[in-house]
Chain A
Amino acid sequence: MKQRRLGRGVAIVGAGMSKFGAFPGLATRDLFVDAFQELLASVDKGFNPQEIEALYIGNFSSDLFEGQAHTAPIMADWVGLTPRPATRVEGACASSGVALREGLIAIASGLYDIVLVGGIEKMTDLPTSRVTDTLATAADVTYEVPAGFTFPGLYASMATAYMHAYRATPETFMKVGFKNHENGALNAKAQFGQRIADIMEARKASAIRKGRPVPTWSDEMDFLHDDRANPIIAWPMRLYDCSPISDGAAALLLVSEELARQFTDSALHIIGAGQASDGATHDRPTLTGIPAARHAAKMAYEMAGVAPADIQVAEVHDCFTIAEIMATEDLDFFPAGEGWKAAEEGRTARTGDRPINTSGGLKSKGHPVGASGAGQVVEIWKQLRGEAGERQLSGDIRLGLTHNVGGTGQTCAVHIFERR
C-alpha cells in the first residue's frame, strides 16, 4: 500500500468532555454544550469560538436512541456556530474516531484552518432490550443478527476463538475489567468510577441495610466469579466484561500546525492516522484479532514514523474485556497470543511498562458509542500535558495513541499524537 502523508500538519489545541453516565432529561445537545464549554476553558491562550470554520460530529444512532436524526446542525446551533458546515459522521462505535480523521483531512487539505470535532451519544432513554437491538444494527442485520447474535455475543465468540487458540481463560478477561475499574476510580468523568472492592463493599452495606444475607466474597476474583453479582451476558463475557450503556459527549479543537502556538505552547500534533474497513465477523480469516485494527495501526505507525514500542500511553477500544486484549496485539504492543499474559502480569496497568486505558477505558469511564473515540483523545490530551491528576503517568509522556473500533471491526480508526 502506498504510504500516505498529510498535506500539512494538524494539531489539537483544546479538548473537553461531559461526564459520562446516565442522565435522564439531558439530550445529546445538552451534553455537547457541556463538552464544548470544557474545551473552551482548556485552550491555554484563549480563543474566540467564532473562529471555528467547520464541525465534524461523530454519532452512531441518535435516530434510534433518541428519535432524532440530522444531529450535526443541531450541535452547531446549540454552540452558536451556524451557518458553518456541520457534518455528521457515522462509523458505529468508531464514529468520533472517524470524525477526528475527517477533521484532520479537512485541515490538512488546506480547506480550513480551525475545525471542531465532536462525538455524541444518548443511549439511556431506551430499555436495555432496545439498546441491544440498536447496537446490533452495527453488525450485519441480514446475516449475523438472524443467527441470534448480539453485540456482546459477537465479541464473546471472538473470546472463545481466542481462548481456544492461546489457552487464555475467562479469569484473564476479569482481570482486564478489574484493572480498568482501578483506573476509572481516579477519573471524575467516569460513569462507574469505583474499584471492584468499593463495589463489593457497597453491595455488602446495601444487604445489611435491607436485612438481607450479606455476601461473603473472599476477594475481587471471587466476586467476579459470582453468577449473581456478575451474571453471564454472553459466555464467556459477564456483566463486568462489558462496557455500560452511557450518555456523553466530547469535543476537540483542531488547527493547522502553523496556528498552534497562537492557542497553546503544548499542543498535541496528530502525527499518524489510519482507518480501515472489513466485512461481517464470520467472514474474516481470523477471529482472534481484528484485521481492520491491524491495517489502521500499520498506516498510522508508518505515517508517524514511530514504532509500537515508542508509544507511552494508549487508549484502546475495550467495549468488552476481550477487545482490550486483542487491541494490544493488533497494535503490536505484544505478539499475537501474548496479550492475555501481559494483562495477567500487570504490564497494562497504570504502573506497568505498557499502560492501557488510564482513563478507566470504556468499561469504567462509560461508552456513549459515538462519543467514545473523541473521549479517548481527551485522556491522551491530559496524559501528554501532565493534567491527568491522580492517574497521571510518571515521566516525560510525549507520545500517545488512540484505537477506536466500530462494530466488531468493520471500522477501525487509529491516531498517534505527539506533544512537541
Chain B
Amino acid sequence: MSEKPFTGAVFYEYLNEHKLMGSRCKTCGEVHVPPRPGCAACAGSAVEWVEMSGQGALAAYTVIHIAPTAMIEAGYDRNTPYCTGVVALAEGPRISAQILDVDVRHPETIEIGTPLEIAFIERGEGAARRTYLAFRPEK
C-alpha cells in the first residue's frame, strides 16, 4: 500500500476511487475507519492502509424529512426524505452512511441488523465531483 497520509482528505480521495479505506495499527492490529495517523488503542505510531470488504450490517438509522443545506442541494426535502444510519462493518468499525433502497415511506419496516453492502453516490460536476459513502441491503 501507498504511504499516503492517514487523513480525511486521503480517505475521501480513496472514496472517489470507490475504496473504503481505514488504518491498521502495525503494533496491536486495531483497525480505525475513518483512518487515524496514530493508533487510539495503543498510541502506536506505525499504521498502514487497509481496504474494507464493503460488507456490514445496519446498527441504527433514521429517515430525515428536514434536511441540511447540502442534502437539499442534492435533491432531498420534506417530500423526498432519505435514510441515513450507522453501519457496523464486517471488520468491526462503525461508520455513518446514507442507506439506499429502503422504504423511506414506511420507516418502521426498515430492520436493524439487515446485512448491507457498500454503494457509492456521485454528486457534483467536473472538479466538484465527489463520492459519498452509502450502503444498500445485500442482494
Instruction: Tell me the A residues contacting B by CB distance below 8 Å.
Output: 128-130, 132-133, 136, 142-150, 152-154, 156-161, 164, 231-237, 280-284, 287
Inter-chain contacts of A283 with B (CB < 8 A): 93-94
In the complex, whether B96 has a CB less than 8 A from a CB of chain A is yes
Most chain A beta carbons < 10 A, residue from B62, B69, B112: B62
27 residue pairs from A and B, CB less than 8 Å apart: A132-B69, A133-B68, A136-B68, A143-B8, A146-B133, A148-B76, A148-B82, A148-B98, A150-B67, A152-B66, A153-B62, A153-B84, A156-B62, A157-B62, A157-B84, A160-B85, A161-B59, A164-B113, A232-B65, A233-B65, A234-B65, A235-B64, A281-B86, A282-B59, A282-B86, A287-B60, A287-B86
CB nearest to A227 among chain B residues: B65
A154 to B66 alpha-carbon distance, docked (Å): 13
Chain B, residue nearest A238 (CB) = B65
The answer to the question of B63 belonging to the interface, with a C-beta cut-off of 8 Å to chain A, is yes
List B residues at the A interface (Cβ < 8 Å).
8, 34, 59-72, 76, 78, 81-82, 84-87, 93-98, 107, 110, 112-113, 132-133
Are B72 and A129 in contact, CB atoms less than 8 angstroms apart? yes
Q: Do A157 and B71 contact each other (CB < 8 Å), given the known contacts A147-B84, A283-B94? A: no
B74 CB to nearest chain A CB (Å): 8
- Cβ of B107 and Cβ of A146 under 8 Å apart? no
A22 to chain B, nearest CB (A): 18
B23 to chain A, nearest CB (A): 13
A135 CB → nearest B CB, Å: 9
Cβ of A261 to closest chain B Cβ, rounded Å? 48
Bound complex: CA of A157 vs CA of B87, how far in Å? 11
Chain A residues with Cβ below 8 Å from B66 are 128, 132, 150, 152, 233-234
Asked if B8 contacts A164 (CB within 8 A), the reply is: no
A235 to B96, CA, bound (A): 17
Complex contacts, B107 vs chain A, CB 8 Å: 235-236
Question: In whole angstroms, how far apart are the Cα atoms of A146 and B110 in the complex?
Answer: 21
Q: How far is A148 from B72 in the complex, measured between Cα atoms in Å? A: 10
Q: Is the CB of A129 within 8 A of B96?
A: no
Q: Name the A residues within 8 Å of B70 (CB-CB).
A: 145-146, 148
A234: which B residues are within 8 A, CB to CB? Answer: 62-66
Most buried by A among B59, B81, B96, B133: B96
- Known pairs A146-B133, A149-B84, A157-B85; A231 contacts B78 (CB<8 A): yes
Given contacts A148-B76, A235-B81, 14 further A-B contacts (CB under 8 A): A146-B70, A147-B84, A147-B96, A148-B71, A148-B98, A153-B62, A159-B62, A160-B61, A161-B60, A161-B86, A164-B113, A232-B65, A235-B62, A235-B64
- Tell me the smallest distance from the CB of A105 to a CB of chain B, in Å: 27
Decide if B96 touches A281 in the complex (CB within 8 Å): yes
Q: A160-B112, A234-B65, A234-B66 are in contact. Are A146 and B94 (CB under 8 A)?
A: no
Separation of A132 and B63 alpha carbons in the complex (Å) = 16
With both chains docked as a complex, state the minimum distance between the C-beta of A278 and any C-beta of chain B, in angstroms.
Answer: 12
A132 touches B64 (CB 8 A): no
> Nearest-CB distance from A124 to chain B (Å)?
16
Point out which of A136, A142, A158, A234 has the most chain B C-beta atoms below 10 A from its C-beta: A234
The CB with the most chain B CB atoms within 10 A, among A144, A145, A149, A160, is that of: A160
Contact B60 A148 (CB under 8 A): no
Which A residues are in CB contact (< 8 Å) with B69?
A: 129-130, 132-133
User: A142 vs B93: C-alpha distance in the bound complex, in angstroms?
Assistant: 17
A255 to B84, CA, bound (A): 47
Bound complex: CA A157 to CA B61 (Å): 4
Residues of chain A within 8 A of B81, CB atoms compared? 232, 235
Contact indicator A282/B94 (Cβ below 8 Å): yes
B110 and chain A: residue at smallest CB distance: A160
Instruction: Count chain B CB atoms within 10 A of each CB in A143, A153, A161, A281 and give the residue with the most.
Output: A153
A329–B107 CA distance with the chains assembled, in angstroms: 26
Q: Among B59, B67, B68, B70, find the residue whose CB has the most chain A CB atoms closer than 10 A.
A: B68
Q: How far is the CB of A327 from chain B (nearest CB, A)?
A: 18
Q: Which residue of A lies closest to B111 (CB)?
A: A164
Q: Indicate if the CB atoms of B61 and A282 lie closer than 8 Å.
A: no
Contact B64 A153 (CB under 8 A): yes
Q: A290 CB to closest chain B CB, in angstroms?
A: 13
- Bound-state Cα–Cα, A143 to B86, Å: 11
A122 to B78, CA, bound (A): 26
Choose one: A144, A231, A233, A236; the contact of B96 (CB below 8 Å): A144
- Cα distance A133–B71 when bound, in Å? 11
Between A149, A152, A164, A284, the greatest number of chain B beta carbons within 10 A of the residue's beta carbon is seen for A149
B17 CB → nearest A CB, Å: 17
Question: Contacting B59 at CB < 8 Å: which of A145, A147, A231, A287?
Answer: A287
Note all chain A residues with C-beta closer than 8 A to B34.
142-143
Nearest CB in chain B: distance from A106 CB, A: 31
Specify which chain B residues have a CB less than 8 angstroms from the CB of A152 in the assembled complex.
62, 64, 66
